[in-house]
Chain A
C-alpha cells in the first residue's frame, strides 16, 4: 500500500478502518483512520503507530517510501492502543535507536506492554534534533489521557496532535480541503462530545498555550481523520466554542418506551417545546445510539429524559445513556424527567435523581402517568415542554 505525501519530507503512513462501527461504545458510522506519520529527516522518525491488526498496512505504506529498518526514532504522542497496538511488534521488527514518549507516556506504555526500559522520557517543551530537522514536544495532559502530547516539526510547520482535532472518518481523502466542511464539523463535534467534553476546562488553556507559542502551523495532523491544512484556525475556534458548552435553544429529549405511553409523552413535550419557539431533538433510544445523544447534548440547553418503569427500575437503555452522559460531565443544562408505569413507578424518580446528580437544573416538575396517558396527561406534558422551551429562548 502507498504512503501519502504531506510535504517533501513527511508522509502519512497510517491505516484506514473502513468497517469499524463501534469504537469502545462510540458508534463510528463512517469508520475511522489510525494515522501514523513518517518524517524523512536525517534521523528517520515515525510519529505514532496504528491499532495492532493494521500493522501490516502501516508497514507496507512505510515501505513504499523507505525501508522500515531505516527508522531511527519512534515518537509516541498517545499511549492508547489504537495508536500503540502495533508498537511492540514494530519495535521488534525495525529495532529503532530510540522510542520517545512523555513522562506519563512512558508509565502508560510500560503498563500496557510491560516494556523494560525501552522508552525514553521527554519533557514538556523539550527539543529533539532529527539532524536536519527539529521536533519540539508539548504535553497536553488529560487531552485526553495523562500521557497525551503534541509534537511540532519546525521546518515543515506540522503539529502532530494525536487525538486532538481528530475525528472518526474513514476516507481516501487525506486533507480537510478535499472533504465537505459540514461533514468535518459534524464528525469533529461528535469526537469532541464523546471524547473531550469531560476535559473542556483544559481546552482554553491549550488554545492559549498554542497562541503564546506562536507556532507557524501549516498542517495540523491528528491521529484520526483528515489532516487539517485549510481550516486550521476554524477547528481551533470550534474547540474553544465547544469547550464553553454554552446553552442554546435546543432541547434533547431521549427516552425508551414499552407500550408507546412514554413515547406519546415525549412527543407532547416536544410539541410544547416547539410551541415556545425552541427546538426539540427527540431521540428514542431503540433507534438512537448513546454517542449520538452525547453529540446532540454538546450544543443543547436542555436534557429531558423519559423512562417507563420495568420491575421497579428505569429501563436499561435509559440507564445506559444516563451513565454515559454523566461521565461526560455536560454543563449548563436545564432538564426534567417523565415516564409511564403500571405500578410502583420508580423510574421517573430514579431519572430525576440521576439528572440532579449531574447538576442538571431540574426546572419543571416530573411527569408520571399510570399505564396509558389520557388527553389531559398529554396536555400536561405539552405544558411541561412549553415551560422548558420558554426558559430556553430567554
Chain B
C-alpha cells in the first residue's frame, strides 16, 4: 500500500501505521480513510495529500 504525503506540512501517512489516535486503524489504505479525516499534524483535508 502506498504512503501519502500532506502537500501542506509534509506529514506522511503510512498505511502500515494508520492513524489510530484519530480512528484510523493500522493497515488502512489511504483511499479507505473516511473523507472527514484531516492531517493529524496540520489539520488540512485529504484533498491536500498526494502519493509519496
Contacts and interface: CB of A to CB of B under 8 A. Distances in A.
11 contacts: A141-B42, A141-B43, A141-B44, A142-B43, A142-B44, A146-B42, A198-B8, A199-B8, A201-B7, A202-B8, A202-B48
B41 interface: yes
A198 B41 CA distance: 16
Interface string B1-18: 000000111000000000
Contacts, number: 24
Interface in A90-116: 103-104
A202 B44 contact: yes
A148 to B, nearest CB: 9
Interface of A: 103-104, 139, 141-142, 146, 198-199, 201-202
Interface residues of B, number: 9
Contacts of B43: 103-104, 139, 141-142, 146
B7 A142 contact: no
Given A103-B43, A202-B44, 16 more contacts: A104-B43, A141-B38, A141-B42, A141-B43, A142-B8, A142-B9, A142-B42, A142-B44, A146-B9, A146-B43, A198-B8, A201-B7, A201-B8, A201-B48, A202-B8, A202-B48
A153 B43 CA distance: 25
B42 to A, nearest CB: 5
B46 to A, nearest CB: 13
B47 to A, nearest CB: 9
B4 to A, nearest CB: 16
Contacts of A103: 43
A146 B7 contact: no
A199 B9 CA distance: 9
A202 B42 CA distance: 13
A227 B44 CA distance: 28
Contacts of A139: 43
A198 B42 CA distance: 13
Query: Across chains A and B, which 9 residue pairs bring their CB atoms closest together, nearest first?
Result: A141-B43, A146-B43, A146-B42, A142-B8, A104-B43, A142-B42, A141-B44, A142-B44, A199-B8
A199 B8 CA distance: 6
B22 to A, nearest CB: 12
B52 to A, nearest CB: 16
Contacts of B42: 141-142, 146
Contacts of B44: 141-142, 202
B41 A146 contact: yes
